[in-house]
Homo-oligomer: A and B are copies of this chain.
Amino acid sequence: MDVANLSGVSKSTVSNVIRGAGRVSDATRRRVLDSIEALGYRPNALARDLVRRRANTVGVMVGDLANTFYAGLVKLLEVEASDAAYTTMVCNTDGELALERARVETLLERAVVGVVLLQFSGDRMVLDALRGAQVPAVVVSCHDERVDCVAVDDRAGMSAAVEHLYDLGHRAIAHVSGHLVEDSTRAARAAGYEAAMRKHGLPPRLLSADDWENGDPGAVRRLHELVSGNAGLTAFAAGNDVMAVRLIDQLEAGGLRVPEDVSVIGFDGIELGAHSRIGLTTISQPREELTTRGLELLLDRVRGGSVAAPPRCVTLEPRLIVRHSTAAPRA
């Protein structure tokens, strides 16, 4: 350590002033600080982390960073983690299990202190790997009883969406979901939809968006058929905002107008939904609260070393935002 020589002290003293640990006389500290400045010395985080046996980095696993809802969460996480003196390592899984496993492995090799799972597949091996390495994890924005998690009450949220539609006078309401929504979340939202439909004695109709997401040319026609044909659908409760927005696209491509001919409601509350041209009615999630509480749970375990304590679960309430993609059905 060159700084040590220049300031005429030992490595340990330099280390002490850098870490603000131990007692160092003001005079010595000054000298060391000056040497650091003069030499443009930059501590080596790799060496520090090796001896500490952990990098102060938190891993963030996200299914699709291109989904603006998740990009927003990642950004918040990066900022908040950084405020807590942690760096962030973002991994995109593209919703593929193999990638998810590989990325977790990478994070573990790098000795992250903890990992935040956005859009977690629920895979057991991933959880076991984490637990085996004593690395705490928190699932944010979807539920999992095996780990700490903070999420919105998806079930209640989707029920509220249906109630909103019902109150408007809709009876033939379909639920649209697909691979864009992570499994457990999809199930919870579907359950919320079905419960609300059942409550009103209405038959549930579940649709998958995957065909038109893939650009299937017949999709537009089939969608139109669903509305104008025997099914006579008058409203769609989509699994998330991205799907809702694309659904509107497809519907209008088929000559249907939203909300005049058919209503659409989303879930998440992405910014774009607020655009006047879109005006998406939606069930909004409190993003900042999700990330703040999530990081809180994680860092709590990191600092407390209580990796083994039973999982805690924070459930937040989503909020209905009425805009102009929903209206009373035509007479």
| Chain A residues with a Cβ under 8 A of chain B | 40, 42-47, 49-50, 53, 55, 64-66, 68, 71-72, 74-75, 78-79, 82, 87-92, 94, 103, 105-106, 108-111, 132-133, 245, 248-249, 252-253, 271-272, 275-278
Q: What CA separation (Å) do A65 and B44 show in the bound complex?
A: 28
Inter-subunit contact A78/B66 (CB<8 Å): no
With contact pairs A43-B109, A71-B68, A74-B65 given, residues A89 and B89 touching in the complex (Cβ less than 8 Å):
yes
Residues of chain B with a CB closer than 8 A to A133's CB = 42
Inter-subunit contact B72/A87 (CB<8 Å): no
Residues of chain B with a CB closer than 8 A to A42's CB = 105, 108-109, 133
Q: For A46, give its contact among B50, B79, B245, B271 (CB under 8 Å).
A: B50
Inter-subunit contact B92/A89 (CB<8 Å): no
23 A-B pairs with CB atoms under 8 Å apart are A40-B132, A42-B105, A42-B133, A45-B106, A46-B46, A47-B50, A50-B50, A65-B71, A65-B74, A66-B72, A66-B271, A75-B92, A82-B103, A87-B110, A88-B89, A89-B89, A89-B90, A248-B277, A249-B275, A249-B276, A252-B276, A253-B276, A278-B278
Q: For A111, give its contact among B44, B106, B111 (CB under 8 Å).
A: B44
Q: What CA separation (Å) do A271 and B276 show in the bound complex?
A: 17
Inter-subunit contact B64/A75 (CB<8 Å): yes
Known: A64-B75, A65-B78. 20 other contacts (CB 8 A): A40-B132, A45-B106, A45-B110, A46-B55, A46-B110, A46-B111, A50-B50, A65-B74, A66-B71, A66-B75, A68-B71, A71-B71, A82-B103, A87-B110, A88-B91, A89-B89, A89-B90, A90-B90, A249-B277, A253-B276
Residues of chain B with a CB closer than 8 A to A79's CB = 92, 94
Most B CB contacts (10 A, CB to CB) among A46, A71, A111 go to: A46
* Chain B, residue nearest A103 (CB): B82
Residues of chain B with a CB closer than 8 A to A108's CB = 42
Residues of chain B with a CB closer than 8 A to A277's CB = 248-249, 252, 277-278
Q: What CA separation (Å) do A111 and B106 show in the bound complex?
A: 17
Residues of chain B with a CB closer than 8 A to A248's CB = 275-277
Q: What CA separation (Å) do A103 and B86 show in the bound complex?
A: 11
Q: For A65, give its contact among B50, B75, B82 (CB under 8 Å).
A: B75
Q: What CA separation (Å) do A269 and B169 show in the bound complex?
A: 39
Q: What CA separation (Å) do A46 and B75 show in the bound complex?
A: 26
Q: What CA separation (Å) do A68 and B82 show in the bound complex?
A: 22
Inter-subunit contact B75/A45 (CB<8 Å): no
Q: What CA separation (Å) do A61 and B60 show in the bound complex?
A: 16
Residues of chain B with a CB closer than 8 A to A40's CB = 132
Residues of chain B with a CB closer than 8 A to A46's CB = 46, 49-50, 53, 55, 110-111
Closest chain B CB from A260 CB (angstroms): 14
Q: What CA separation (Å) do A133 and B45 show in the bound complex?
A: 14
* Chain B, residue nearest A102 (CB): B82
